């Protein structure tokens, strides 16, 4: 099955108030690029051509109205990623950031205590745990209507593993 993931970063110097809009445009541009590569011989698309092709699921997950492709776009602090596939997918990108005990407690599921909290590089591990959970929420289409603490991971690292219920799901973390 086809899976393409594009990752880029925004150019330096974009004013803070314009970064989110620039990240969104860049995500659509990456998606247009993926569609152009997957559909040779069709008129090329650009980022402004993407919105009319979209529809939204009951919880807001975007998809294509009439194309048999799936995608997931994520952006955070100048990083932008787009995953494109013939199968459902969820993708998230984050920069490592500090996690307060309150935020860590909100995302942690029972049984995950040893995954990040006592690790010497705990902010990096909490960031990875959050990213894995958000990609899972995007995959299911539930998004933020699902609490991160409802999803439990048994392992982090390059190939994170869900604690239960993830039959057939494959996670990769870079």
Any residues with CB less than 8 A from the CB of 11 and at least 6 apart, and which?
Answer: none
Question: Which tokens hold the place of 24?
Answer: 């969104």
Q: What is the pLDDT along the chain (174 residues), one digit of tens a residue?
A: 678 999 999 999 999 899 999 999 999 999 999 999 999 999 999 999 999 999 999 999 999 998 999 999 999 999 999 999 999 999 999 989 888 888 888 899 988 888 876 666 788 999 999 999 999 999 999 888 889 999 999 999 999 999 987 777 889 998
Candidates 76, 69, 88, 68; CA nearest to 27 is 76
Distances from the Cα of 52 to the Cαs of 34, 82, 150, in angstroms? Answer: 16, 18, 34
Q: What is the structure's pLDDT at 118?
A: 65
Which pLDDT score, from 0 to 100, does residue 119 have? Answer: 67
The per-residue pLDDT for 115 is 86
Q: Quote the strand ranges of the chain, DSSP E.
A: 3-9, 54-56, 62-64, 70-76, 79-85, 153-155, 161-162
């Amino acid at each position: 099955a086809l899976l393409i993931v594009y990752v880029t970063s925004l150019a330096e110097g974009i004013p803070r108030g314009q970064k989110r809009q620039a990240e969104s445009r860049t995500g659509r541009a990456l998606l247009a690029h993926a569609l152009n590569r997957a559909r040779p011989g069709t008129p090329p698309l650009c980022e402004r051509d993407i919105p009319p092709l979209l529809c939204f699921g009951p919880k807001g997950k975007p998809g294509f109205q009439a194309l048999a492709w799936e995608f997931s776009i994520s952006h955070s602090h100048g990083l932008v990623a787009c995953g494109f596939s013939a199968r459902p997918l969820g993708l998230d990108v984050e920069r490592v950031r500090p996690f307060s005990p309150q935020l860590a407690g909100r995302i942690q599921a029972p049984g995950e205590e040893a995954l990040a909290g006592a690790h010497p590089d705990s902010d990096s591990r909490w960031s990875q745990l959050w990213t894995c959970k958000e990609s899972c929420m995007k995959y299911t289409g539930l998004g933020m209507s699902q609490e991160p603490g409802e999803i439990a991971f048994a392992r982090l690292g390059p190939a994170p593993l869900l604690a239960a219920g993830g039959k057939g799901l494959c996670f990769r973390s870079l």
